[in-house]
Amino acid sequence: MKAYAMLGPGKTGWIEKERPSCGPLDAICRPIALASCTSDVHTVWENALGPRTDLTLGHEGVGEIVEVGALVKDFKPGDKVLCAAITPDWGSVEAQGGYSMHSGGMLCGWKFSNIKDGMFADFFHVNEADSNLALVPDGMDLGVAAMLSDMLPTGLHGAELADVQFGDSVCVIGIGPVGLIAVRGAVLRGAGRILAVGTRPNCVDVAKKFGATDIISYKAGPLLDQVMDMTGGAGVDRVIVAGGDCDTFDDAVSMLKPGGTIGNVNYLGEGDYIKIPRLGWGVGMGHKTIVGGLMPGGRRRLEKLASLVQNGRIDPSLIITHRRKGMDAIEEILLLMKDKPSDLIKPVTIIEW
């Protein structure tokens, strides 16, 4: 079969691969919608996962099942299915403890285009199909469905980690596609005022549509100063980090009120240490909770988030700026994500077989 792969550091291209084989609990799918992700860019061009050879890329997509293992009960060939970027081993002790995304080791629930071949191929493999797939709801746009793989679960997890409560003020740092979903997630956990940090006009526009009440530009001065000014020196109740780097936490901690929480969903690609300021963190005693976490995957999560979309709580189509057709568009949507033209938020390609 054909697969679009990372050939080596900084190099991608189409290669021939063997079709994945289907274990008794697994499913094999053809992709019917695919999206590219900044993580793919990190992987190929920024050495985020280390050197890889001929690793099929892609972890956001929708599939049509072509084969299921003998022990699969709930799905059959022909079913159109949602599939999350994270596909845990549900029987692991980590999953039993509530952290399925770390099944088998920290971050090891992330398999596609990391520890096995990804979705950018004629066929992709899904472990524990009954637990890691969900039917595409009737009438759901396939591009929207592809946003359920990573964008929605990751962005909404930011609001969960930050533990937003009714009326809280929330600062969302970074309004790329994940940060935008985090803005909507903050609304859907009860935030009052939402300060969104970003500058790209199309993203600012969607942030407002999703419920951001204030927009902060890095260009207008130091972030911390702006947040403290806008809040009369009080700071905010919650911070969701969906962009920036290890230094971002310096401001994030300092702008946070005692008793608040920082929820990080940003992949921190470089640097040795996260910068947690001693004084801003209350010399260790300010009750400022800092947590970051990989998105939860699995069938239950997919069904819950699909329910949010179907019932009109969130409209993922707002972040899809580029729609293409066919497998041939894979390279284009990947390079779009790499080059980030000013009108881009998220590209998808829809595939008919």
Q: Taking CB under 8 A as the criterion, which residues in 314-353 touch a second copy?
A: none
277 binds a second copy (CB under 8 A): yes
Taking CA atoms, 159 is separated from 21, 175, 327, in Å, by 38, 14, 34
Strand partners, 134: 82
- Per CB under 8 A, the list member of 45, 92, 122, 228 interacting with a second copy is 92
> Smallest distance, Å, CB 74 to a second copy?
10
Q: In the Cβ-directed half-sphere of 20, how many Cα atoms lie within 13 Å?
A: 28
Query: What is the rounded distance in angstroms from the CA atom of residue 228 to the CA atom of residue 294?
Result: 29
- Per CB under 8 A, the list member of 286, 323, 335, 338 interacting with a second copy is 286
> Smallest distance, Å, CB 206 to a second copy?
17
- Per CB under 8 A, the list member of 11, 76, 209, 300 interacting with a second copy is 300
Q: Taking CB under 8 A as the criterion, which residues in 196-215 touch a second copy?
A: 211, 213
> Smallest distance, Å, CB 151 to a second copy?
14
Q: Which is nearer to a second copy, 29 or 327 (CB)?
A: 29
The amino acid that residue 28 corresponds to is I
93 binds a second copy (CB under 8 A): yes
Strand partners, 215: 196
273 binds a second copy (CB under 8 A): yes
- Per CB under 8 A, the list member of 50, 98, 139, 232 interacting with a second copy is 98
Sorted by sequence, the CB contacts under 8 Å of residue 304 that are 6+ apart come out as none
Query: What is the rounded distance in angstroms from the CA atom of residue 40 to the CA atom of residue 4?
Result: 12
Q: In the Cβ-directed half-sphere of 210, how many Cα atoms lie within 13 Å?
A: 36
- Please identify, among the stretches 10-18, 59-67, 158-166, 335-343, the one whose residues bind a second copy according to the rule CB under 8 A: 158-166
Give the DSSP letter string of 196-216. Answer: EE---HHHHHHHHHHT--EEE
- Please identify, among the stretches 14-22, 58-66, 174-182, 264-272, the one whose residues bind a second copy according to the rule CB under 8 A: 264-272
Query: What is the rounded distance in angstroms from the CA atom of residue 212 to the CA atom of residue 192?
Result: 9
> Smallest distance, Å, CB 291 to a second copy?
4
SS3 333: helix
Whether 134 and 303 have beta carbons less than 8 Å apart is answered as yes
Strand partners, 171: 195, 239
Q: Which is nearer to a second copy, 155 or 198 (CB)?
A: 155
> Smallest distance, Å, CB 323 to a second copy?
26
> Smallest distance, Å, CB 173 to a second copy?
12
- Per CB under 8 A, the list member of 36, 149, 266, 349 interacting with a second copy is 266
- Per CB under 8 A, the list member of 37, 160, 327, 345 interacting with a second copy is 160
